Structure 1
């Protein structure tokens, strides 16, 4: 995950409305939910409510229209904190057109120019505001608020929509209750015994990124019954890498992170005579701790993705070399090796390729346009926020994007229909095994 600091945070506003709610509704917006806002020719303005949400009790019950029995509808006021507007919104379910319900009469400007996979967050209020019991905000997926939302709710890579209790957003914990209780007991015992420094030393250094990545793969194997990461034996190798890096590893990392940072904070606070002194004089130390934690999260994500991709290449018996220095550049992976990329190497165009890996793209994908050595360039990512404009620019630069299988078919991402976007499965089976068989070590395909 990443944050776009150019967009002003509204997290404090969001928290205020969450605190006033009895239930929350969160949906990752699809192209159909937002495309109307950027196309003035479309008159059908609004987003869609999945059937399970419609029937959950979060929204008012739909009633059949007497004049058109195939239409079920409900009209009720909504409040939009970002614009301060009350809207006479409504839901329409056309029973002859599918299971989803269309939600209309909303602030159009909130839905314009959104990045793919942005968020709609709404709440049902304990006490109405004016006469509205429902409120909604729209969160751009590239914003700092999106990162806070996804972290607080532990949003998984496979998430689409759900109903939440507000306490899950306001008091989200990085560890389950048993693990949290155990950590609290360890810290209290260390304070009592005067061994807080010893505890801090024992948890002060997180395991190396490679070790955490390996632990995440082991957890994934145990959870799914998978025996390895051979992409040729997997139906959806990209989805596996995405789940390992975005779900399993992040949870493991947060556990280590909380143990380290919690002890650091307690040690900092206890180094002062009283709580007031700790808050005032200890603030620079606390600020440093949180800044370090934020930076460490960002650094971890990109490197771990490379570790998992390397493990998959190795499991698939693919020839590769990592971080080879070529003409002042350092591609993540060269296939088959550095020697094949050097000037004068006797090989054909289809006997080598460059594979870069970036968990999130932003503008950083442009860095790899300099990594061309008489070979194709592939860019692997698990980012579902890449815009259509960026995809068009990558196609012009002759860069193929490699994405998880579920993201390529996703209604929320912008990948569907782009010829320069392929799945991990297509990369390994078509681009490597079929088009470039010399990149494989001796192996037998059944």
Structure 2
């Protein structure tokens, strides 16, 4: 799983940096670390736009006999192990430079001179974080951390840097990580005015978190407006899986964060300003309540993600006129959806069980118990599932449904597995082609 510092340590380094580079690691970036062979790679690749920026040290030709090769050596600090490495960035500007007919440009910058053990046994879509320090420290101008995608730190980083569902890599300005001034300042102004007017309690009572259904509907409508569509019919949306991932992981989360800021700030304001007393004194006395507020915030975010995924997939079924039954109970089980319905399932017809998991981990194993009832499909937007888990699911007759972009993404392990299909393939092949009676005619 690699090893990495906790978020507090990462955050401290981020605050000391003038620029941050984050990359979602592909298997090509990490497979060398798990191999017993000593290959020529032994490092990760830097995307061309980042390599051509001024983030990394400038490369130059150090060997006149090989003018097509540019490189640079520079010290890097690895906080996980506390060591300094002399790393190398190398760029081969041309393939087969000696053969004029086969010679062609290359667009790969290779970064080596890194601790192999920190890249071993990483989950798919793990994160590489490199900070360019404002002032040299630890014997270097750069620090590098690898964060396993299944860790809590990865989730915090995705939130702090607002990494979207389609994120692959990017450069970030640490000073821009604060809340947008307009959003924050507006809330401050409203709270301040409520205090002056003596209407703080009324203001606080008005701040609520939207229900999962309301939140999902708002996010869906925003996506529809963005894409100039009237509904989410999966046969009219080119990539329905990507649409669900974008709505749930990006649009809805952005809406939720705005509502959460107001709701949690109101809760904290009530405690700190209680009775018109000293805010510091109230803070100390109400610390346990504050702790509960923030614990509740974290738990609510996680439960909200699962509920929203169900609403979005349900909208695809509804707008596609696909017969389905949600949360149906049979045999002591309650999958998210049964297509077309439990009645068809009970008579051993050609029914389909569709379960949803925003994150898989080991929870897919309970689905194997449903095998006698019908074909089992497991839909997810999780890009961290290992090849071993996918193989094990295949042995248990479980087919994964993933967003279209994740199936082919270099960072995920889905490519090449027959028991992994896209949402597009599910609707076209498993429903429309194999089970056309599930679609209600116009």
Q: TM-score, normalised by structure 2?
A: 0.94
In the alignment, which of 310, 318, 322 is matched to residue 318 of structure 1? 322
Q: Please, which moves more after superposition, 99-108 or 121-130? A: 121-130
Q: Does 1:129 align with 2:137?
A: yes
**Structure-1 separation of matches of 2:295 and 2:327:** 28
| Structure 2 residue aligned with 1:46 | 43
In the alignment, which of 1, 24, 28 is matched to residue 28 of structure 1? 24
Do 2:4 and 2:80's aligned partners in 1 also have CA atoms closer than 8 Å?
no
Do 1:341 and 1:373's aligned partners in 2 also have CA atoms closer than 8 Å?
no
| Structure 1 residue aligned with 2:11 | 15
| Structure 1 residue aligned with 2:93 | 95
Q: Does 1:74 align with 2:72?
A: yes
The structural deviation recorded for 1:373 is 4.2
Q: Does 1:213 align with 2:222?
A: no
Q: Does 1:238 align with 2:241?
A: yes
| Structure 2 residue aligned with 1:288 | 292
Q: Secondary structure at the match of 2:243?
A: helix
| Structure 1 residue aligned with 2:102 | none
Residues 257-276 of structure 1, C-alpha deviations (whole Å, 9 max, x = no match): 11100011011111163233
**Structure-1 separation of matches of 2:395 and 2:200:** 57
**Structure-1 separation of matches of 2:146 and 2:182:** 34
Distance 1:130 1:371, change over 3 A: closer
Residues 286-325 of structure 1, C-alpha deviations (whole Å, 9 max, x = no match): 0111111111101100010000000001111110000000
Q: TM-score, normalised by structure 1?
A: 0.93
Q: Secondary structure at the match of 2:409?
A: coil
| Structure 2 residue aligned with 1:106 | 114
| Structure 2 residue aligned with 1:261 | 264
Q: Does 1:248 align with 2:284?
A: no
Residues 26-60 of structure 1, C-alpha deviations (whole Å, 9 max, x = no match): 11111111111111214221000011000110011
The structural deviation recorded for 1:8 is 8.0
Residues 397-444 of structure 1, C-alpha deviations (whole Å, 9 max, x = no match): 11000000000000000001111000000000001111111211115x
Structure 1: give runs of 5+ residues left out of the alignment: none
Q: Does 1:301 align with 2:305?
A: yes
Q: Secondary structure at the match of 2:88?
A: strand
In the alignment, which of 53, 58, 61 is matched to residue 61 of structure 1? 58
Q: Does 1:414 align with 2:406?
A: no
| Structure 2 residue aligned with 1:384 | 383
Q: Secondary structure at the match of 1:231?
A: coil
**Structure-2 separation of matches of 1:373 and 1:309:** 24
Alpha carbon RMSD of aligned pairs, Å?
Answer: 1.6
| Structure 2 residue aligned with 1:119 | 127
The aligned length equals 429
| Structure 2 residue aligned with 1:192 | 196
Q: Secondary structure at the match of 1:219?
A: helix
